[in-house]
């Protein structure tokens, strides 16, 4: 059959530089004529040996997901791709995309998501390319895509009817095979290979344990329903907000104490369940709660590492662990006791990929509610939930008991992140420049009981490929091990997000029961003294405290 391939002349858009997790913009930007097409063609143009290959495509179900997938399928067919595996109804969580790329040895995958950013016609949209190891494209690939986007002059698309994404099975789009796959099946099989599902099933059906999983009307709904209610026997209704909606039900699909307030109210309410968890828009983040008890992501990573041998997939121990630089040093203490390496990387999951591929790390995590392991090359929200349930099933203790026992053994890293969202970009940059200008004079300076030991702008040399990433966040470290970190985030679409991370180590078990904001009060005041946050941002308090 002859393929009706159309060639469109186009001109570059100047703003298609991918951030830490692909290209994220308002939906209205992606809807501009040629905008999405330019970016997709730029991806295809820099992929060597694309013809005849298999790609994976799916997204979190947010607004514009379905239309974008149809465009991508037709462009892939026009660019010589042999086969695309696409999730039913266009739905695939980010961890599932990674798992499918790896299982079927695909060339890569295109993930359509703006992760935890709001959805809907006035919300955000995003496109991310994942490489053949299943992980986010490293900087050299995203730089190549960006360079191509600055000079692109044409793109190719097949003139054909839309593909039925609702029906499982294969169809042809020109000469390309489109395979609509079950969104959950491959991912669930991978989870069953790692965790003791029989033991968790017994635990969840014993009648003594109740859980509440909140999918925030985002992508993990079908996965959580299949895993926890159908396979593991949790009662119907244990998974709430489980139907993916294009606008996430008007909510903000970010699993933290502010945006997952429905779940927080349940776990802090009367007759609360024993365990609660939430995931974000694309399913790669997680929040873990016990009854009236919040587990910080930094502590969660440390506790998973300390208890990994209780889980079948990790019973032989860990090769090493890795954390992003702003994440608390709780996991460092576990690594030290286990006698394994702990790597400190810049923010962005792609930096873990080389460590995982080289067998240097097994578990990794970020303070921004992301945890994962070498099973895929993305963070994985439901994997973390299953890991916790496996530990709970073995130890037969409450979430709070496990965390407090961990603090007694290792000390507590009081930790908090203060986000100032949608700050004027110029003012945010001026604030960072002001802090940077003070850095040479800070070491040795006294702030109350705190003495500055070092101040630097974090730079990372990848131990596998030697690549260097500079200016990854300003660190101010004190002689007692406390830290303040300042970063501008690259995941929002409006203005700049200023993130301030605060950490203080407390080995004394008698002093481990404070509210983190109280325990960190002096450091919060020092951060404002150094950075003049109120002066530069005009804000009296952070938008979000986690």
Q: How confident is the model over 138-167, as a mean pLDDT?
A: 96
Q: How confident is the model over 87-115, as a mean pLDDT?
A: 97
Q: How confident is the model over 457-480, as a mean pLDDT?
A: 93
- pLDDT attached to residue 257: 87
Q: Which residue has the higher pLDDT, 221 or 496?
A: 221
Asked whether the predicted pLDDT for residue 492 surpasses 70, the reply is: no
- Residue 540's pLDDT band (cuts 50, 70, 90): confident
Asked whether the predicted pLDDT for residue 490 surpasses 70, the reply is: no
Q: How confident is the model over 325-339, as a mean pLDDT?
A: 97
- pLDDT attached to residue 334: 98
Asked whether the predicted pLDDT for residue 299 surpasses 70, the reply is: yes
Nearest to 320 by CA among 301, 343, 300, 337: 343
Give percent above pLDDT 90 in the chain: 90
What is the average pLDDT value for the chain, to the nearest integer? Answer: 95
- pLDDT attached to residue 491: 53
Q: How confident is the model over 29-50, as a mean pLDDT?
A: 97
Give percent above pLDDT 70 in the chain: 99
Sheet holding 124-130, edge to edge: 23-26, 124-130, 108-112, 54-59, 83-91, 176-181, 169-173
Q: Which residue has the higher pLDDT, 543 or 108?
A: 108
Asked whether the predicted pLDDT for residue 441 surpasses 80, the reply is: yes
Nearest to 281 by CA among 52, 38, 491, 508: 491
What does the alpha-carbon distance between residue 483 and residue 168 come to, in Å, rounded to a whole number?
A: 51
Range(s) of the chain covered by CATH 3.30.310.50: 412-545
Q: How confident is the model over 368-374, as a mean pLDDT?
A: 96
Q: How confident is the model over 271-296, as a mean pLDDT?
A: 96
DSSP string, 288-348: EEETTEEE-HHHHHHHHHHTGGGSGGGTT--SEEEEETTS-THHHHHHHHHT-EEEEE-SS
Nearest to 218 by CA among 292, 263, 282: 282
SS3 for 175?
A: coil
Asked whether the predicted pLDDT for residue 117 surpasses 90, the reply is: no
- pLDDT attached to residue 362: 98
- pLDDT attached to residue 198: 98
Q: How confident is the model over 323-327, as a mean pLDDT?
A: 97
- pLDDT attached to residue 2: 67
Asked whether the predicted pLDDT for residue 26 surpasses 90, the reply is: yes
- pLDDT attached to residue 31: 97
Asked if residues 232 and 258 have their Cβ atoms less than 8 Å apart, the reply is no
Asked whether the predicted pLDDT for residue 20 surpasses 80, the reply is: no
CATH of 5-182, one of 3.40.50.300, 3.40.1030.10, 3.30.2020.10, 3.40.120.10: 3.40.120.10
Task: Give Cβ neighbours of residue 16 (< 8 Å, ≥ 6 apart).
Answer: 23, 38, 39, 42, 145, 146, 149, 150
Range(s) of the chain covered by CATH 3.40.120.10: 5-182, 187-410
- The bridge status of strand 446-447 relative to strand 450-457 is antiparallel
Q: Which two tokens stand for residue 306?
A: 């300390």
- pLDDT attached to residue 115: 85
Asked if residues 422 and 544 have their Cβ atoms less than 8 Å apart, the reply is no
For the domain 412-545, what is the CATH code? Answer: 3.30.310.50
What does the alpha-carbon distance between residue 287 and residue 341 come to, in Å, rounded to a whole number?
A: 26
Q: Which residue has the higher pLDDT, 540 or 392?
A: 392
What does the alpha-carbon distance between residue 380 and residue 130 come to, in Å, rounded to a whole number?
A: 15
Instruction: Give the active site residues.
Output: 115
- pLDDT attached to residue 258: 84
Q: How confident is the model over 203-226, as a mean pLDDT?
A: 96
For the domain 187-410, what is the CATH code? Answer: 3.40.120.10
pTM for the model stands at: 0.94
- pLDDT attached to residue 19: 83
- pLDDT attached to residue 316: 97
């Amino acid at each position: 059959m002859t393929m009706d391939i159309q060639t469109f002349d186009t001109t570059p858009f100047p703003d298609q530089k991918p951030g830490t997790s692909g290209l994220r913009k308002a939906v209205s930007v992606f809807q501009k004529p040629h905008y999405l097409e330019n970016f997709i063609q730029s991806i295809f143009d820099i992929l060597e040996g694309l013809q005849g290959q298999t790609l994976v495509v799916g997204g979190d179900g947010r607004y514009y997901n379905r239309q974008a997938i149809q465009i991508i399928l037709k462009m892939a067919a026009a660019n010589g791709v042999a086969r695309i595996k696409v999730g039913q109804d266009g739905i695939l969580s980010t961890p599932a995309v990674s798992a499918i790329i790896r299982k079927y040895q695909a060339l890569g995958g295109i993930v359509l998501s703006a992760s935890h950013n709001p959805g809907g016609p006035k919300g955000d949209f995003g496109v991310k390319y994942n490489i053949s190891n299943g992980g986010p494209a490293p900087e050299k690939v995203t730089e190549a895509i960006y360079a191509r986007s600055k000079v692109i002059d044409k793109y190719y698309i097949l003139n054909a009817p839309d593909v039925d994404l609702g029906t499982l099975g294969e169809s042809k789009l020109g000469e390309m095979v489109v395979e609509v796959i079950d969104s959950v099946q491959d991912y669930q099989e991978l989870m069953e290979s790692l965790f003791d599902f029989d033991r968790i099933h017994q635990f969840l059906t014993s009648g003594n344990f109740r859980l509440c999983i909140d999918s925030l009307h985002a992508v993990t709904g079908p996965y959580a329903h299949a895993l926890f209610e159908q396979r593991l026997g949790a009662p119907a209704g244990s998974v709430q907000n489980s139907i993916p909606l294009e606008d996430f039900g008007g909510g903000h699909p970010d699993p933290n104490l502010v945006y997952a307030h429905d779940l927080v109210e349940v776990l802090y309410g009367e007759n609360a369940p024993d365990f609660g968890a939430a995931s974000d828009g694309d399913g790669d983040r997680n929040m873990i709660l016990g009854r009236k008890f919040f587990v910080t992501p930094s502590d969660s990573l440390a506790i998973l590492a300390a208890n990994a041998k209780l889980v079948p997939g990790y019973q032989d121990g860990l090769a090493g662990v890795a954390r992003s630089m702003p994440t608390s040093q709780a996991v460092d203490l576990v690594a030290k006791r286990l006698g394994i390496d702990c790597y400190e990387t810049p923010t962005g999951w792609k930096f873990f990929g080389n460590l995982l591929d080289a067998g240097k790390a097994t578990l990794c995590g970020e303070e921004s509610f992301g945890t994962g392991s070498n099973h895929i090359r993305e963070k994985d929200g439901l994997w973390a939930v299953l890991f916790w349930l496996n530990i709970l099933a073995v130890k037969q203790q409450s979430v709070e008991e496990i965390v407090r026992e961990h603090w007694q053994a290792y000390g507590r890293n009081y930790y908090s992140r203060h986000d100032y969202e949608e700050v004027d970009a110029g003012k945010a940059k001026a604030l960072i420049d002001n802090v940077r200008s003070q850095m040479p004079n800070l070491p040795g300076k006294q702030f109350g009981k705190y003495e500055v030991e070092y101040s630097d702008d974090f730079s990372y040399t990848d131990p596998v490929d030697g690549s260097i990433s500079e200016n990854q966040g300003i660190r101010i470290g004190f002689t007692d091990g406390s830290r303040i970190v300042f970063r501008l985030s690259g995941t929002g679409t409006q203005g700049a997000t200023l993130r301030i991370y605060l950490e203080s180590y407390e080995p004394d078990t008698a002093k481990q029961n404070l509210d983190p904001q109280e325990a960190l009060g002096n450091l919060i005041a020092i951060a404002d003294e150094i950075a003049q946050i109120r002066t530069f941002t005009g804000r009296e308090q952070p938008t979000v405290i986690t």
